[in-house]
C-alpha cells in the first residue's frame, strides 16, 4: 500500500512538472519564448579531472541560459548525432532537432594551466612559479532552425584567461569535486562560472535578436 501511494504521488509530481514546463514556454503576456536546445558541450581537451568537464559545463550553461525566464531551454540528452556540428553542412540539424527554433553547439577547444612568466605584473607578491593562468577557449555555433533551411546566428571562438594564484595548500579536486560547496568557491569553479556567464549572456542576446526579426 505504501508503495502504491508513493507511486501515485510520484506520478502527480511528474504531471505537475510537465505542466509547469509547458507554461514556461510563454511570457505572461502570451508571447512565445525562443525554444532552444543545447547540445552537450564537446570536450576537445585532455584536462584531467575526476568528473566530466563536458557534463559540468553543459549543466552550468543550461542553468544559466534558463535564468531570467526569457528563453525556454529544451535540452534532450538522448540526441546522438554523428555529424560535425561545426562543418558547413547544416542540413541535418532540422531533422535532429525538429521541435526547436534554435540549437546551441559549444566546443571546449582549450583548457590548460600555463605557468606565469617572471616579470608579469599580475604576480605581485605571489611567487611566479606557484601561479598560473587558466586559459580557456570555447567555440560557439548558434543555428536558427525556424526557416526552410538552417541559418547560423552566431559563430565565434571565445578565449579568456583566469589568473589563479596557488597557495601552500592547493585545492584538491579529488575532494572539492564538482557539485560541492568547496568546488563552487575554488579557483576552477569560479573560472568556469565566469566563462559560462560570458557565453550565456552573449548567446542569449543573439537569440533574442534573431527571434525579434
Q: Is residue 137 part of a domain?
A: yes
Residue 35 pLDDT level (bands cut at 50, 70, 90): very high
The verdict on residue 3 lying in a domain is no
The string of pLDDT tens digits covering residues 124-153 is: 444 445 688 999 999 999 999 999 999 999
What pLDDT is recorded for position 94? Answer: 93
pLDDT digit string, tens, across residues 49-61 = 999 999 999 999 9
User: Any idea what the CATH number is for the domain that residue 70 is in?
Assistant: 3.40.50.10610
pLDDT digits (tens, 9 = 90+) for 153-174: 999 999 999 998 877 678 899 9
3 state DSSP class of 14: helix
Quote the CA–CA distance of 17 and 14 in Å, as a whole number. Answer: 5
Q: Which residues contact 33 (CB under 8 A, 6 or more apart)?
A: 24, 25, 26, 27, 69, 70, 71, 72
Is 165 within the bounds of a domain? yes
Q: Is residue 48 part of a domain?
A: yes
- Indicate the number of domains in the chain: 1
Average pLDDT over residues 78-100: 89
In a domain, 9, yes or no: no
- Pair 53, 43: CB distance under 8 Å: yes
Asked if residue 195 is part of any domain, the answer here is yes
With H, G, I as helix, E, B as strand and everything else as coil, classify residue 21. Answer: helix
Whole-model pTM: value is: 0.81
Q: What is the structure's pLDDT at 37?
A: 94
Nearest to 143 by CA among 95, 110, 111, 108: 95
What mean pLDDT is predicted for residues 42-69?
94
Decide: 168 and 103 in contact? Cβ < 8 Å: no
- Sequence-ordered list of residues with C-beta below 8 angstroms from that of 59, at least 6 positions apart, any chain: none
In a domain, residue 130? The reply is yes
Quick one: pLDDT at residue 30? 72
Q: What is the mean pLDDT of the chain?
A: 83
Length of the chain: 213
- Domain residues for the domain of 202 are 32-212
Is the dihedral angle over the CA atoms 17, 56, 209, 69 positive or is it negative? positive
What pLDDT score does 208 carry? 95
Span of 45-59, 82-96, 110-124, 196-210 with lowest mean pLDDT: 110-124
Least confident residue range of 23-37, 89-103, 162-176? 23-37
The pLDDT value given to residue 134: 94
Q: What angle do CA 135, 136, 142 make, to 5 degrees?
A: 160
pLDDT at site 13: 38
pLDDT over 90, % of the chain = 63
Residue 131 or residue 107, greater confidence: 107
* Residue 200: burial class (beta carbons within 10 Å; 0-12, 13-18, 19+): buried
Amino acid at each position: 500500500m505504501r508503495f502504491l501511494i508513493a507511486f501515485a504521488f510520484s506520478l502527480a509530481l511528474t504531471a505537475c512538472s510537465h505542466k509547469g514546463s509547458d507554461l514556461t514556454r510563454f511570457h505572461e503576456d502570451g508571447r512565445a519564448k525562443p525554444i532552444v536546445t543545447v547540445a552537450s558541450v564537446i570536450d576537445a581537451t585532455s584536462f584531467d579531472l575526476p568528473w566530466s568537464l563536458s557534463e559540468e559545463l553543459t549543466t552550468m550553461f543550461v542553468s544559466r541560459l534558463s535564468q531570467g525566464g526569457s528563453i525556454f531551454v529544451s535540452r534532450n540528452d538522448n540526441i546522438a548525432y554523428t555529424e560535425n556540428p561545426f562543418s558547413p553542412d547544416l542540413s541535418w540539424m532540422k531533422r535532429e532537432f525538429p521541435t526547436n527554433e534554435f540549437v546551441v553547439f559549444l566546443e571546449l577547444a582549450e583548457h590548460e594551466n600555463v605557468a606565469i612568466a617572471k616579470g608579469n605584473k599580475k604576480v605581485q607578491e605571489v611567487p611566479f612559479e606557484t601561479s598560473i593562468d587558466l586559459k580557456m577557449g570555447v567555440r560557439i555555433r548558434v543555428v536558427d532552425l525556424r526557416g526552410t533551411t538552417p541559418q547560423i546566428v552566431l559563430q565565434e571562438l571565445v578565449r579568456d584567461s583566469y589568473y589563479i594564484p596557488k597557495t601552500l595548500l592547493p585545492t584538491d579536486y579529488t575532494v572539492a569535486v564538482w557539485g560541492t560547496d568547496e568546488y563552487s568557491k575554488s579557483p576552477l569553479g569560479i573560472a568556469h562560472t565566469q566563462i559560462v556567464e560570458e557565453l550565456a549572456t552573449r548567446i542569449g542576446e543573439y537569440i533574442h535578436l534573431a527571434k525579434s526579426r
